[in-house]
Structure 1
Amino acid sequence: MVSDGNSDKSLLVSLIAGGTAGGIEATVTYLKLAAFEYAKTRVQLHEDSPTQNPFRVIRNVIQQEGPGALYKGCSALIVGTVAKDAIRFISFDSIKLAFKDPQTGTLSPARNLLAGIASGVVASTFAVTPTERIKTAMIDDARYTKRFTSPWHATKTLIAEHGLLRALYRGYITTTLKQASTTSVRLGTYNILKDFERLRDIPQTTATTFANGAVAGTIVVAVTQPFDTLKTRAQSVRGAGLKEAFTSVIADYGVRGFWRGSTMRLGRTVLAGGILFTSYEWVAALLTPILDKRMLPASE
């Protein structure tokens, strides 16, 4: 069973459950679908091949660079996802506690989306931008110079060349736009669906939770893909400002270029959304009674 959502989660539960769920989601989806994440990033960079067929992109990479190339930046993504989801769930739940309706325990759709935007900005600042920068730089580097041997080596090299902030926070604006919109749509949509079901006494089963997460993941790709494309351009090894990233996409592919890589991202995001929220609710349901019991005052 998953939690019914009627009782508030403590912020410690949100932190632990969010980080654990992020780790589970990242491990399952990135290890099984890392090829699609790699292919998505490649076609969002200025790729010589015009194809957007993920299987052709993957085949070409394996033929030219070997299968190991598909996992470039994967470890950085897994570490970053654990931190990202721990931060965004605790910040989202903190805002929910502050602004929920005291009678129904729910948020309006607008407040759900605003809570997601705020938690996305926090997650981008403290976790997403640095790890996404390293992942994107490693994938971009693998196309040409092949300088980086590991995420740690890439981090040290970029810091030595550009300084700490410019190295790890290149593309901060585009990444934050993407993260704020993604978190707003994903967590907002999921919470709106959950509140809708709660008010109508629809049981919160594992199947319901997974379906809600998958729907949220689908909407995320449709709405936020342009921000993801701009983020990828800005975080390449050479880097680009927001204006340069925008104009380069238009010059290369036209307006349709902002949705380049959607198919590859959708294949991971739908599954990731279902796994993330199902894992989060399971872990929260497991931890809540344990932590609540430990926090109770000892009987005299």
Structure 2
Amino acid sequence: MTEVIDVVTTIKSSKSGWEDFVAGSFAGMAQVAVGQPLDTIKVRLQIEATKFKGPMDCFLQTVKKEGPFALYKGMASPLIGIGAVNALLFAAYSRLKEIQTVSPGEQLTLHQIAIAGGGAGAINSVLSSPVELLKVKMQAQYGSKKVAKYKGPIDCAQQLIKEFGIRNGLYRGFWATVAREIPAYAGFYSGFEFAKRKFTPVGSSPDSLPPSILMLSGSFAGICYWACCYPLDVIKSKVQNQHNPPKGIFYVITTFRSIYNSEGAMALLRGITPTVIRR
């Protein structure tokens, strides 16, 4: 949801902080609006695989039975939360890079970039977990609003908190989100830096790269993001969509085993096609 922020911030590095924040927020909202239909297909394939033969069948069934706007279910939550999520992610990433910097202007190694990215992802889970929970809950609802359990993200949050409390309701799947975000953003930021450095001519600085190359580097980083975490995203969606809270502190492992034993290894990659297309 937030992979676009570093690309936009790098392109607009000469601007002030609040301008970077506004630019990143609008870029993030544009990303959500454009990618939401594919994300809905991804989530539905992850949690209800037996209903569909594949991505195209999921798309056709959703549009036929619920109308084209059903592809945008759950969009309100990330659309509203994208600014705060991006701000926390970028602030955490910048701070974790500073901690590892010994001298001004030092270029961190890729493994240091990965550490900063993974740490930022873990911190970012505080906001991204409830945002994605509400999104998944809305996407998993079939039929019209008249028969839907949740009328919107606010109603969904209120019902979950009332029935299960904040920890088991609004923050259900938090540790699954943390488990996903750490490798995801370690892969994203190190992939982004790797691509930038490969595109940078000898004797030049990556900061001098044109926007087109930065966008290409960002696309490569997006692929790295999902390559590092996709099975964990499937687990997160499963956990967040189930009615009752997961049991035990090792539910990420037990959910993995459950999916693997009942559906096979390929179930952990279900929905990856629309995800790759979306990137």
Asked whether the two chains share a fold, i.e. TM above 0.5, the reply is yes
Instruction: Note the C-alpha offset of 1:157.
Output: 0.8
2:195–2:220 CA contact under 8 A, matched in 1: no
**Which of 257, 265, 269 is residue 247 of structure 1 equivalent to?**
257
Task: Specify the alignment match of 1:80 in structure 2.
Answer: 81
Most deviating of 221-230 and 134-143: 134-143
Task: Specify the alignment match of 1:224 in structure 2.
Answer: 229
With normalisation by structure 2, the TM-score equals 0.84
Task: Specify the alignment match of 1:260 in structure 2.
Answer: 270
Most deviating of 155-164 and 143-152: 143-152
Size of the aligned set, in residue pairs, is 261
Task: Specify the alignment match of 1:17 in structure 2.
Answer: 20
Q: Which amino acid aligns with 1:208?
A: I
Instruction: Note the C-alpha offset of 1:192.
Output: 3.4
Map 1:143-222 onto structure 2 (within 5 A).
146-195=148-197, 197=200, 200-201=203-204, 203-222=208-227
Tell me how far apart the structure 2 counterparts of residues 227 and 201 of structure 1 sit (CA, whole Å). Answer: 38
Change in 2 beyond 3 A, CA 1:134/1:215 = same
Task: Specify the alignment match of 1:111 in structure 2.
Answer: 112
- Runs (5+) with no aligned partner, structure 1: 271-300
Instruction: Note the C-alpha offset of 1:19.
Output: 6.0
Change in 2 beyond 3 A, CA 1:252/1:27 = farther
Q: Which amino acid aligns with 1:247?
A: R
Instruction: Note the C-alpha offset of 1:72.
Output: 1.2
Change in 2 beyond 3 A, CA 1:198/1:153 = farther
Task: Specify the alignment match of 1:295 in structure 2.
Answer: none
Instruction: Note the C-alpha offset of 1:231.
Output: 0.7
SS in 2 for 1:235: helix
Aligned-pair Cα RMSD in Å: 2.7
1:140–1:237 CA contact under 8 A, matched in 2: no
Instruction: Note the C-alpha offset of 1:174.
Output: 0.9
Instruction: Note the C-alpha offset of 1:200.
Output: 4.0
Tell me how far apart the structure 2 counterparts of residues 67 and 147 of structure 1 sit (CA, whole Å). Answer: 20
Map 1:2-151 onto structure 2 (within 5 A).
13=17, 17-18=20-21, 20-21=23-24, 23-53=25-55, 55-100=56-101, 102=103, 104-125=105-126, 127-142=127-142, 146-151=148-153
Task: Specify the alignment match of 2:238 in structure 1.
Answer: 233
1:101–1:107 CA contact under 8 A, matched in 2: no
With normalisation by structure 1, the TM-score equals 0.78
1:106–1:195 CA contact under 8 A, matched in 2: no
Most deviating of 236-245 and 108-117: 236-245
2:41–2:274 CA contact under 8 A, matched in 1: yes
SS in 2 for 1:264: helix
Task: Specify the alignment match of 2:3 in structure 1.
Answer: none
- Runs (5+) with no aligned partner, structure 2: 1-7
Most deviating of 226-235 and 79-88: 79-88
Q: Between the two proteins, what is the percent identity of the paired residues?
A: 20
Instruction: Note the C-alpha offset of 1:153.
Output: 0.6
Which structure has more relative contact order (CA 8 Å, sep 6+)? It is 1
Instruction: Note the C-alpha offset of 1:143.
Output: 6.4
1:120–1:183 CA contact under 8 A, matched in 2: yes
Instruction: Note the C-alpha offset of 1:99.
Output: 1.4
1:35–1:71 CA contact under 8 A, matched in 2: yes
2:52–2:58 CA contact under 8 A, matched in 1: no
Q: Which amino acid aligns with 1:201?
A: S
Most deviating of 98-107 and 211-220: 98-107
Change in 2 beyond 3 A, CA 1:44/1:58 = same
Deviation sequence 1:69-124 (CA, Å, 0-9, x none): 21111010122322221111111111212213526521111111000111001100
Tell me how far apart the structure 2 counterparts of residues 66 and 118 of structure 1 sit (CA, whole Å). Answer: 40
